[in-house]
């Protein structure tokens, strides 16, 4: 059930303090997604344990899990268009809604990131003999963006959006190679097979995908991103943006880990491009 509908249905069963939390959330669901538990408790004039008790009353595990369900509820809108966009929305309304829902989704994704895993993946990338970025469909554009980022880092980087080329590339993998597979759902059969081939040939496979998905189970390491987006019903937008942010995080970590001398080389690469642009 939509969590907003659930709040309305359970309203009569809530305590006086819990009703204050419910009314604060219903008055501005977008604000609740961006709020900390302390902020929401202050706005509702209740204690933080009351907010947690309210969240568990709605069968969620706590406040972070409740915010994820709330963001998913706000995604219910016009099928195949975008998040919580109504049929009669004009340009002003749907522009505002898409920006706000995307920012809310990124906030949920940010809270789901395991920085320990990020650090371990950066370690793998900085030590890799070769890095491959593969994705299909909407995730292919993210893999291509990763190529553009890591191509400048003086390490062999491979990108293909053709499944046959991906398979052949993984057949040639070896120990020390890192294959990054990008899939929001983690249910694409071809990418699961790619992960199996790469690991069989000695590569370390990193999945940027949903936790506990079929793809995640075949990966050596998983960068899980909780993004409230149903790609079976909607054109994937927020998930792709969250994936590209993660690529930026990995590229930044790679640059910092390599040290000042490496960054000086990046500066020289940037300077060689100066002549290709008009002056400001």
**Which of 57-66, 207-216, 251-260 has the highest average model confidence (pLDDT)?**
207-216
Q: Does domain 3-111 have CATH number 1.10.4010.10?
A: no
- Are both 3-111 and 114-272 of the same fold? no
With 70 as the cut, is the pLDDT of residue 208 above it? yes
Least confident range from 26-35, 132-141, 160-169, 189-198: namely 26-35
- Bridge partner list, 182: 135, 208
Distance between CA atoms of residues 1 and 4, nearest Å = 8
In the prediction, which pLDDT does 265 show? Answer: 76
pLDDT by residue (tens digit) across 113-139?
A: 999 999 999 999 999 999 999 999 889
For residue 234, what are its two tokens?
């909607």
Give the mean pLDDT of the chain.
86
Phi, psi (rounded to 5 degrees) for 78: -70, 120
* 114-272: CATH number: 3.40.50.10490
Domain boundaries, the chain: 3-111, 114-272
Distance between CA atoms of residues 117 and 253, nearest Å = 12
Of 163, 162, 202, 161, nearest in space to 179 by CA: 202
Least confident range from 70-74, 77-81, 115-119, 144-148: namely 77-81
In the prediction, which pLDDT does 231 show? Answer: 59
Whole-angstrom CA distances from 119 to 26, 125, 247, 252 are: 38, 10, 13, 11
In the prediction, which pLDDT does 157 show? Answer: 96
pLDDT by residue (tens digit) across 182-205?
A: 999 899 999 999 999 999 999 999
Quick one: average pLDDT of 165-169? 97
Strand order, beta sheet including 177-183: 157-160, 130-135, 177-183, 204-209, 221-224
C-beta of residue 52 within 8 angstroms of C-beta of residue 63: yes
Distance between CA atoms of residues 133 and 198, nearest Å = 12
Distance between CA atoms of residues 50 and 237, nearest Å = 35
Whole-angstrom CA distances from 193 to 28, 68, 167, 175, 189 are: 44, 30, 8, 18, 6
For residue 213, what are its two tokens?
């998905």
Quick one: average pLDDT of 154-174? 95
pLDDT by residue (tens digit) across 40-53?
A: 999 999 999 999 99
With 80 as the cut, is the pLDDT of residue 88 above it? no
In the prediction, which pLDDT does 230 show? Answer: 57
Q: Is the dihedral of CA 175, 178, 183, 185 positive or negative?
A: positive
Alpha helices (runs of H) in the chain, residue ranges in sequence order: 3-10, 16-27, 29-34, 37-44, 48-57, 63-73, 91-112, 115-127, 138-150, 163-171, 189-200, 214-217, 238-258, 260-272
**Which of 2-6, 90-94, 229-233 has the highest average model confidence (pLDDT)?**
90-94
In the prediction, which pLDDT does 79 show? Answer: 38
pLDDT by residue (tens digit) across 102-120?
A: 777 787 788 889 999 999 9
Q: CB neighbours of 183 closer than 8 A, spacing ≥ 6?
A: 135, 136, 139, 191, 207, 208, 209, 210, 213, 215
pLDDT by residue (tens digit) across 140-156?
A: 999 999 999 998 888 89
């Amino acid at each position: 059930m939509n969590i907003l509908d659930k709040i309305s249905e359970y309203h009569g069963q809530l305590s006086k303090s819990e009703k204050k939390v419910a009314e604060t959330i219903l008055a501005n669901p977008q604000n609740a997604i961006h709020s900390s538990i302390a902020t929401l408790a202050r706005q509702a004039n209740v204690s933080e344990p009351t907010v947690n008790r309210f969240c568990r009353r709605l069968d969620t595990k706590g406040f972070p899990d409740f915010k994820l369900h709330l963001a998913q509820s706000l995604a219910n809108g016009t099928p195949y268009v975008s998040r919580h966009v109504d049929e009669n929305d004009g340009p002003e309304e749907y522009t505002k809604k898409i920006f706000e829902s995307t920012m809310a989704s990124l906030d949920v994704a940010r809270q789901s990131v395991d920085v320990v895993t990020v650090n371990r993946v950066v370690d793998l990338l900085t030590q890799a003999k070769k890095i491959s970025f593969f994705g299909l469909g909407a995730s292919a554009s993210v893999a291509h963006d990763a190529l553009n980022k890591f191509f400048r880092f003086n390490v062999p980087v491979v990108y293909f959006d053709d499944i046959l080329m991906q398979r052949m590339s993984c057949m040639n993998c070896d120990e020390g190679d890192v294959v990054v597979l990008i899939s929001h759902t983690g249910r694409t059969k071809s990418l699961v097979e790619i992960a199996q081939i790469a690991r069989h040939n000695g590569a370390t496979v990193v999945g940027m995908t949903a936790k506990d998905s079929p793809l995640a189970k075949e990966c050596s390491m998983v960068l899980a991103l909780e993004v409230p987006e149903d790609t079976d019903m909607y054109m994937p937008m927020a998930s792709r943006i969250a994936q590209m942010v993660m690529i930026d995080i990995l590229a930044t970590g790679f640059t910092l880990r390599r040290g000042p001398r490496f960054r000086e080389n990046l500066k020289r690469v940037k300077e060689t491009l100066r002549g290709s642009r008009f002056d400001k």
